[in-house]
Amino acid sequence: MNYEPSTLNNMQFSAAQIAMMINGRIEGDAEATVSSFGKIEEAGEGQLAFLANPKYEEYLYSTGASIIIINESLELKQPVGATLIKVPDAYSAFATLLDKYQQIQTQQLSGIQQPAYIDVTAKVGEQVFIGAFAYLGEKVIVSDGTKIFPNVFLGKNVTVGKNTIIHPGVKVYHDCIIGSDVIIHAGAVIGSDGFGFAPQADGSFKKIPQIGNVIIEDNVEIGANTTIDRATIGGTLIKAGAKLDNLLQIGHNVEVGNNTAIAALTGVSGSTKIGNNVIIGGQAGLAGHLQIADGTKINGKSGVSKSIKTPNTSVTGTPATDYLTSMRAQAAARNLPALEKRVKDLEQLVKDLTDKK
């Protein structure tokens, strides 16, 4: 199946212009131009590719790409036909370039599509885009440069910072605060009620009103269909730079630290405090009221039932334990059949010796 290449908005960029954007050094024709992106193994003339993974180095010498971004540490084994832009980290440089490309796309969006509902008390900044069927409730504030895509709901008193992108179908409940340069992907729900119910004598549950909010600081990204519950009292807090994947459940009064990354299908129970620069693998589960120290690494599918108080700890398993200890235990478990046989042989030897007495 053939796919159309990712275009650069019908614009051409020269190697010199690209090198300036990513602080790269050119080897080859500085006037070579590209108008689309391509994988290094498939790219053709007029396309830009990059090489970060050594597994794909063979394609560097056969690709049809016009410009290739590579690591400056790479030692070429044979001549390359394309113009090269050398940078310290090709993957990071390519990410920077894609970010600039995306900014070009989103900056072109402005104005208010119809039909859209904007309450008379709402305030909308400059260069804002509001898509069709969006709903902006009472006293909503949308700051300059923000893009609100179709079918987004912003409840009463919601505040959105500058240059934030809220994709289709996102629902932000009342009183929530979203910072600047935030990206919220389709279907996310911000500020729904926390899971608070008080058991009653007759076996029923009485709902505890959730009167807090959700606060999302700057430069946060939230994946599709992720849900972040509002606090019972106070705020559920996602700190600056945090990256949340798709399909997460973040409970009420949780705090997620600066530059922490959480992979898909993870659940974090209420009032747990996650530190800075924590990495949590997919399908992990964290119990409530825990403290997770800065720099902790939690392996995928782990079940964390106790606080982790030592920074830069790595854990795995259910219940989660120290990673190296767990690996040694797994290695020992693989030897159990052989150990069982040795024990049986020793038992038989003891029995034989006993019988001879």
Q: Which residues are catalytic?
A: 252
Which two structure tokens, joined as six digits, stand for 47? 């396309």
Closest of 211, 4, 22, 5 to residue 100, by C-alpha? 22
Distances (CA, A) of 274 to 71, 142, 247: 34, 29, 18
Amino acid at 328: R
First to last CA, the chain: 80
Give the contacts of 206 (CB within 8 A, at least 6 positions apart): 197, 198, 200
**C-alpha to C-alpha distance for 309 and 201, rounded to whole angstroms:** 37
Q: Residue 295 — φ and ψ, nearest 5°?
A: 75, 5
Q: Residue 222 — φ and ψ, nearest 5°?
A: -125, 125
With beta carbons less than 8 A apart as the criterion, state whether 22 and 86 touch.
Answer: no
Which two structure tokens, joined as six digits, stand for 23? 């602080």
**C-alpha to C-alpha distance for 353 and 336, rounded to whole angstroms:** 26
**C-alpha to C-alpha distance for 146 and 108, rounded to whole angstroms:** 12
**C-alpha to C-alpha distance for 239 and 251, rounded to whole angstroms:** 15
